[in-house]
Amino acid sequence: MEKDGLSRADQQYECVAEIGEGAYGKVFKARDLKNGGRFVALKRVRVQTGEEGMPLSTIREVAVLRHLETFEHPNVVRLFDVCTVSRTDRETKLTLVFEHVDQDLTTYLDKVPEPGVPTETIKDMMFQLLRGLDFLHSHRVVHRDLKPQNILVTSSGQIKLADFGLARIYSFQMALTSVVVTLWYRAPEVLLQSSYATPVDLWSVGCIFAEMFRRKPLFRGSSDVDQLGKILDCCCCRQCYCLCGEWGHGRRLLFCAEPIMPCGLIALLWKLLCCSCGSFDSCPSSAWLSSSSLSSAVLSAWGHFRCFHSEVGRSMTR
């Protein structure tokens, strides 16, 4: 509904600042004038419409987001409102109103002083991340673009997943824009544009997991081909790391920055990366394809951390 030339979104939400721009459109920090002036994040997307109106795929994706909101999951960013306004016969402006969080994981990691994020904090963040991801997967939502910029961190350390379930809404804009989308956290299936399912998100979690310790990306490719090459050099070589304790040239990749990852978490990292894409025949991948089992694995791996000073030290000198 429009009034005096203004859409409902323009009437209810007062933009304060532009806080982001991506393949899908722009993001604004705004005040919700009908709810005490609380801050919200407005994501404005232009959707191409056909003769029959907005594409059914877009309607379905928005319906999924609205359905997920009814659960108010603590580790998923909340969707407060959806506004639409027709710009032309061929285009509709879709405004998604989310809760606003001041920082993402990238900003959080940049602010952490030396020697880095405490392992106890990483444990807690990983558990929250996997719990939120398990919720999405249980509702058949594959994120597909998990990266530190899409993981929000509140002032109290609460993790919230953002930008999920919008692949179909964004697909048209992403095909037309020249905005460079980072490749560093994308699974091989996504890079190769092949079919994919929930394991692609577990791959991204593994990359993010390593970055929490290393404080820099695990695979820093400059193109699709370069990214795949870096992945193959590490994860498709059986001598990189074997869970029985044998080490190969891959140890330089995993131990090139302090603090050294504890043994139990290295094993978990390798499960996330290699088992999610089936790189190891001997890996019981079926047991690792659900993020809920991985949440439990984070906690069980924690019990083995006392050995990391001695065992990892010996491994690095071999």
Segment 172-230, tens digit of pLDDT: 444 433 333 478 988 887 788 777 677 778 888 888 988 988 888 888 888 888 888 88
Q: Among 105-109, 170-174, 299-303, where is mean pLDDT lowest? A: 170-174
Determine if the pTM surpasses 0.85. Answer: no
Residue 29 marked ligand-binding: no
Indicate the Cα dihedral angle 274, 276, 282, 288, nearest 10°.
Answer: 130
Q: What are phi and psi of 97, to 5 degrees?
A: -105, 110
Output the DSSP codes for 9-23. HHHHEEEEEEEEEET
Average pLDDT of the chain is 72
Q: What pLDDT score was predicted for residue 127?
A: 85
Q: What's the CA gap between 125 and 181, in Å, rounded?
A: 24
Active site residue 145: yes
What distance lies between CA 273 and its chain's CA centroid? 15
Output the DSSP codes for 258-269. SSPPPHHHHHHH
Q: What's the CA gap between 206 and 138, in Å, rounded?
A: 19
Q: What pLDDT score was predicted for residue 175?
A: 41
With contact defined as beta carbons under 8 Å apart, do 73 and 52 qualify?
A: no
pLDDT tier for residue 141 given thresholds of 50, 70 and 90: confident
Q: Which of 81, 145, 163, 201 is catalytic?
A: 145
pLDDT tier for residue 74 given thresholds of 50, 70 and 90: very high
Q: What pLDDT score was predicted for residue 255?
A: 42
Q: Which two tokens stand for residue 308?
A: 């990391």
pLDDT at 148 over 80: yes
Q: What pLDDT score was predicted for residue 135?
A: 86
Instruction: Tell whether omega for the bond before 115 is within 30 degrees of 0, i.e. cis.
Output: yes
pLDDT at 56 over 80: no
Q: Who's near 170: CB < 8 A, 6+ residues apart? A: 23, 24, 45
Instruction: Name the nearest CA neighbour of 203 among 224, 183, 223, 226.
Output: 183
- What does the pLDDT look like over 18-55, one tens digit per residue? 988 765 678 899 999 999 899 999 988 777 776 666 66
Helix axes 291-302, 119-138, angle to 10 degrees: 160
Long-range Cβ contacts of 48-55 (<8 Å, 24+ apart): 48/90, 48/91, 48/172, 49/86, 49/89, 49/90, 49/91, 49/92, 50/90, 54/84, 54/92, 55/168
